[in-house]
Amino acid sequence: MAQGIPKIGWEQVSPAPVVLVFGKESFLADRALQRLKSLLLMEDPELEVSDLDAGQYTDGALELIASPSLFDEPRLVRVSNGVKATDAFIADALRYLQAPVDGTTLVIRHDGSTVRGKKLLDAIRSHPGAIEVVCQPLGRGDMVPFARNELRLLEREATPGAIAALVDAFHSDIAELANAVRQVALDTEGPVTEQVVRTYYAGRVETTAFAVVDAVVAGDVAKALVTLRQAIATGADPVPIVAAFAMRYRQLAKVSGVSGGGAQVARQLGMQDWQLNNARRDLRGFTDASLCDAIEAIAHADHAVKGAERDPQHAVERLVRQLASRAAA
């Protein structure tokens, strides 16, 4: 049985005869393509780059483009839209895999949204000279190491709180998160701290749902209400605000049921070390009964903001008042 080809992240991509860039996260796919082109240019500045659209492909184009030139310059052939590949492209690509051209790197982009070209995908994944770059959307838990790595690439040090603040503010869009990390890294000096991030992105970070949750858990009713109103005024929707409460209080519930600390316990709970430490600190203000009541109130609010009540903003403000008042008691 054939061994599967290596599956790697965008930051690990390296030249290979055939590269499959697979997954729905176009930002990571673009990163992989940029890195691959840069590496090939470093090997030979005379690199010839050609682009094909698999959805508009006509018979014979791949062979024509990939064939050695008169001066044998290396070639990078980038094929987009593999998810809509024509029958002609699939047939030509299958034929090409039987005898890849020396000095040519063939990159095929497929977002995986359909099984179109499955025979070709299977052939690539069993080809000994191929690699697969996995570009799936990142979950919220993956955003923290992503942001940390972005800062590392920029040779900047950052505190866990700074990374958490960046992720809280920009977790909905990985491209926006990457740009935010780059901007704060280039425009500030010294270690990137939470205060640096909150000062630099004051209008964005201070009004996130997670800033509202922080104030509520701390029992600061006035700050929680002000922050909530700022969030709503800047376009925040009640549904994700309640979702942020649900995520935070689920973390508290998970942590309340385990003893001990450290990286191993955090991994078991699917959390970062700093999240575990913060949850343990926040739990000091809760009893089992009050935590249960809070989770029940969040469930009611979730139902309300999703259509059970006419005024979702009133429902989320009521939730903030209830939870912050209990935490302050």
The confidence score (pLDDT) of residue 329 equals 58
Pair 275, 196 in one domain? no
Q: Is residue 1 part of a domain?
A: no
Provide the CATH number for the domain around residue 75. 3.40.50.300
Pair 286, 239 in one domain? yes
Domain of 111 in residue numbering reads as 7-134
The confidence score (pLDDT) of residue 207 equals 56
Calpha distance 292→266 (Å, rounded): 22
Pair 154, 90 in one domain? no
The confidence score (pLDDT) of residue 2 equals 44
- Rounded to 5 degrees, what are φ and ψ at 318? -60, -40
Last residue of a domain, one of 167, 187, 206: 206
Q: Domains in the chain: how many in total?
A: 3
Last residue of a domain, one of 114, 134, 154: 134
What the block records as the tokens of 280 is 């343990």
Q: Is residue 2 part of a domain?
A: no
Provide the CATH number for the domain around residue 253. 1.20.272.10
Pair 114, 176 in one domain? no
The confidence score (pLDDT) of residue 205 equals 57
Residues 6+ apart with CB under 8 A from 149: 11
Query: Whose CA is closest to 250, among 296, 295, 217, 281?
Result: 295
Residues 6+ apart with CB under 8 A from 238: 232, 305, 312, 313, 315, 316
Whole-angstrom distance between the N-terminal and C-terminal Cα of the chain? 64
Pair 88, 171 in one domain? no
Pair 110, 186 in one domain? no
Query: Counting beta carbons within 10 angstroms of the beta carbon of residue 300, is it exposed (0 to 12), middle (13 to 18) or buried (19 or more)?
Result: middle
CA distances from 291 to 138, 242, 297, 305 (A): 30, 16, 10, 21
The confidence score (pLDDT) of residue 326 equals 73
List the chain pLDDT tens, one digit each, 329 residues. 345 799 999 989 999 999 999 999 999 999 999 999 999 999 999 999 999 999 999 999 999 999 877 677 899 999 999 999 999 999 999 999 999 999 999 999 999 999 899 999 999 999 998 999 999 998 877 888 899 999 998 999 898 888 888 887 787 788 888 988 998 888 888 889 888 887 777 656 555 677 888 889 888 888 888 888 877 876 677 887 888 888 888 888 888 888 766 677 777 777 667 777 888 888 887 888 889 999 999 999 989 988 888 898 999 999 999 998 876 55
Last residue of a domain, one of 174, 191, 206: 206
Per-residue DSSP letter, 280:
H
The confidence score (pLDDT) of residue 1 equals 37
Q: List the Cα angle 198/199/201 in 5-degree steps.
A: 65
Pair 192, 259 in one domain? no
pTM, two decimals, is 0.63
Contact 146, 180 (CB under 8 A): no
